[in-house]
């Protein structure tokens, strides 16, 4: 099967030398890409900037901003049977990118930000994707309730939820503890390495393929 995975943070330029980003390391998305490739799937990895080496044997599509990632996913998603959105996409970007480096002046600086498109939220509605759709939910409170809301709003078959306020798991960690949030049930997975969870998750999504979405 062909599996499209988004991974890593995005970078939203402020001026030629500065950008807004977040703490995502990309480790979870790359672990998924590795696991899927090892199981013989074709993997299309659409990734924001990370420090991780590109896994062997995959189609790697490097991106920077949320807008770049949106365009790459729009182009590639039609080839996928399964799409897993593990990227930490910036929700907002600077309204303008200054052409020259912004010089300091005054004691405060106000940046105006505008909303980025929701890539996962566009998969069904705008890109017409009808394969297995998996989102992630990074939460710091009300994890189950928020994840279920995202699942419904974005038309996902599964949302992988994690609590990013915990220091021992999540963003930059090698470990994670996740909840599988389905429309009708929630299945907690034991805390484990992202490598191990990557393999577990690929098995889970393989099991979700039915004749209608393959
Ligand atoms: N996502 C996306 N494009 C965006 C924002 C989020 O594709 N512009 C995807 C993420 O890759 C993830 C899911 O949507 O799979 C949820 O991301 P998250 O940041 O947890 O949720 P948001 O919908 O952005 O809501 P909020 O940040 O307000 O909680
Ligand atoms: Ca967000």
> Looking at residue 147, what is its pLDDT?
97
Q: What are phi and psi of 98, to 5 degrees?
A: -65, 135
Q: Is the CB of 137 under 6 A from ligand 1?
A: yes
State the distance from the centre of ligand 1 to the C-alpha of 135, rounded, in angstroms: 8
Q: What is the pLDDT of residue 174?
A: 87
Task: Assign 210 a pLDDT band (cuts: 50, 70, 90).
Answer: confident
C-alpha of residue 107 to centroid of ligand 1, in Å = 33
pLDDT of 40 > 70? The answer is: yes
Q: Is the pLDDT of residue 214 over 70?
A: no
Which residues, chain by chain, have CB under 5 Å from ion ligand 2? 91
Is 22 a known active-site residue? yes
Please report the pLDDT score of residue 172 as a whole number: 76
Q: Which of 139, 198, 158 is nearest to 174 (CA)?
A: 198
Q: What tokens were used for 191?
A: 């805390």
57-111 confidence digits (pLDDT tens): 999 999 999 999 999 999 999 999 999 999 999 999 999 999 999 999 999 999 9
Can you give the pLDDT at residue 169? 77
Whether 66 lines ligand 1, by a CB cut-off of 6 Å, is yes
Kindly state the average pLDDT of the residues 170-183. 88
The minimum-distance atom of ligand 1 relative to the CA of 134 is: 15
Query: Probe ligand 1: pick from 7, 32, 63, 118, max atoms within 8 Å of CB?
Result: 118
Q: What percent of the chain has pLDDT over 90?
A: 88
Q: Determine whether the shortest distance from the Cβ of 164 to ligand 1 is under 6 A.
A: no
Report how far ligand 2's centroid is from the alpha carbon of 90 (Å).
6
Angle in degrees, CA 134, 138, 143, rounded to 5: 95
Note whether ipTM > 0.85 here: yes
| Residues 37-63, mean pLDDT to the nearest whole number | 96
Distance from Cα 89 to the centre of ligand 1, integer Å: 6
Q: How far apart are CA 142 and CA 38, in angstroms?
A: 35
- Mean pLDDT, the chain, rounded, equals 95
| Stretch among 50-59, 112-121, 162-171, 198-207 having the lowest mean pLDDT | 162-171
This prediction has a pTM of 0.97
Helices (H), 15-142: 27-38, 66-76, 119-125
Is the pLDDT at 33 greater than 90, yes or no? yes
Long-range contacts of 32-36 (CB under 8 A, 24+ apart): 32/5, 32/7, 32/84, 32/86, 32/198, 32/201, 32/202, 33/5, 33/7, 33/58, 33/198, 34/195, 34/198, 35/195, 35/198, 35/199, 35/201, 35/202, 36/3, 36/5, 36/202
Q: If you average pLDDT over residues 108-137, what whole number do you get?
A: 97
């Amino acid at each position: 099967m062909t599996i499209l995975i988004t991974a890593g943070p995005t970078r939203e330029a402020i001026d030629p030398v500065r950008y807004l980003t977040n703490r995502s390391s990309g480790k979870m998305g790359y672990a998924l890409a590795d696991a899927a490739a090892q199981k013989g799937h074709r993997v299309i990895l659409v990734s924001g900037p990370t420090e991780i080496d590109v896994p062997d044997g995959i189609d790697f599509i490097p991106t920077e901003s949320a807008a770049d990632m949106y365009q790459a996913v729009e182009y590639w998603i039609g080839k996928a049977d399964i799409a897993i959105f593990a990227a930490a996409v910036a929700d907002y970007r600077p309204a303008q990118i200054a052409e020259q480096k912004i010089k300091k002046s005054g004691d405060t600086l106000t940046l105006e930000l505008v909303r980025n498109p929701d890539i996962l939220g566009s998969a069904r509605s705008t890109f017409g994707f009808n394969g297995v759709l998996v989102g992630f939910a990074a939460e710091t409170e009300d994890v189950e309730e928020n994840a279920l809301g995202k699942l419904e709003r974005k038309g996902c078959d599964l949302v992988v939820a994690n609590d990013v306020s915990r220091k021992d798991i999540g963003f930059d960690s090698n470990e994670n503890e996740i909840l599988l949030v389905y429309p009708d049930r929630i299945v907690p997975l034991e805390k484990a390495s992202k490598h191990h969870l990557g393999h577990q998750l690929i098995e889970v999504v393989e099991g979700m393929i039915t004749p209608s979405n393959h």
